[in-house]
Amino acid sequence: MTPIMLELLFRSLWETILMTAASGLISLVAGLPLGLALVATSRGGIAEKPWLNSLLGAIVNGFRSVPFIILLVALIPLTRLIVGTALGTWAAIVPLAIAATPYYARIAEVSLREVDRGLIDAVRAMGGNRWTIIREVLVPEALPGIVAGFTVTLVTLIGASAMAGAIGAGGLGDLAIRYGYQRFETTVMIAVVIVLIVLVCGIQWLGDRLVARLDRR
């Protein structure tokens, strides 16, 4: 590869990392409370409200059922409103975060539901309120699963960010489409694939190591 193409490759890698990190952080901040709300408001939960649980579940399922490429286009007006443009790396963060939040909320919900019910009842018996149960039992006990789910979400976001390159979001996907596909630069396409594989494997390895340290079983 020429020096110019190497420079483009590193710039595209940085754009992909930026999109993944920013949208991943937003999905964590918004998705974990949403997962907690789904668990808490379910039947038998610490704040049982079936109607609210059904409403939240319908919203989450609605966003998850829309293919990302369609969501990407449908959210262009909202993206323009928030960022001021529908093109570029920062513009892609909006649909990426909106798509990842309900996805991660469901993953977090599964981990939170696996917490031993006996621990929750024990805290309740000692006079613990809802926030105490969340802070001292639900989140700490489900933390390995929460981290593992976040790792999966980041890996999914890398793939979605590459797809966002199809409409000018930048990143490795944009580089692969513009040079690898449209200009028949096979070397560029191979380089992008290798970088994506290394990036995904690196994130998965770090996530697995962190989960192993957090797992107290």
pTM (2 decimals)?
Answer: 0.88
Give the per-residue pLDDT at 129: 81
Q: What are phi and psi of 48, to 5 degrees?
A: -60, 120
pLDDT digit string, tens, across residues 2-32: 677 778 888 888 989 999 999 999 999 999 9
Give me 69's structure tokens: 């490429």
Which residues 6+ apart lie within 8 Å of 88 measured at CB?
168, 169, 170
Span 128-179, pLDDT tens digits: 788 888 888 888 889 999 999 999 999 999 988 888 777 777 788 878 877 7
Residue 185: CB atoms within 10 A of its CB come to: 18
Residue pair 115/137 in contact (Cβ under 8 Å)? The answer is yes
Say which amino acid occupies 14: W
At 8 the pLDDT is: 81
Local confidence band at 73 (pLDDT 50, 70, 90 cut-offs): confident
Residue 216 binned pLDDT confidence (cut-offs 50, 70, 90):
low
DSSP secondary structure of the chain: --HHHHHHHHHHHHHHHHHHHHHHHHHHHHHHHHHHHHHHTSTTSTT--HHHHHHHHHHHHHHHHS-HHHHHHHTHHHHHHHHS-SSSHHHHHHHHHHHHHHHHHHHHHHHHHTS-HHHHHHHHHTT--HHHHIIIIIHHHHHHHHHHHHHHHHHHHHHHHHHHGGGT--HHHHHIIIIIITT--HHHHHHHHHHHHHHHHHHHHHHHHHHHHH---
Res 57: pLDDT: 92
Burial class of residue 42, CB neighbours in 10 A (0-12, 13-18, 19+): buried
Looking at residue 217, its pLDDT comes to 58
Q: Say whether pLDDT at 211 is over 70.
A: yes
- CATH class of this structure's domain 3-214: mainly alpha
Q: What is the largest CA-CA distance in the chain?
A: 68
- Tokens 């007006």 label which residue? 77
Side-chain-side CA neighbours of residue 21 (13 Å): 8
pLDDT band at 39 (very low <50, low <70, confident <90, very high): very high
Q: Per residue in 48-68, pLDDT tens?
A: 888 999 999 999 999 888 888
| pLDDT of 185 over the 80 cut | no
**Residue 21: predicted pLDDT:** 94
pLDDT at residue 47 in the model: 81
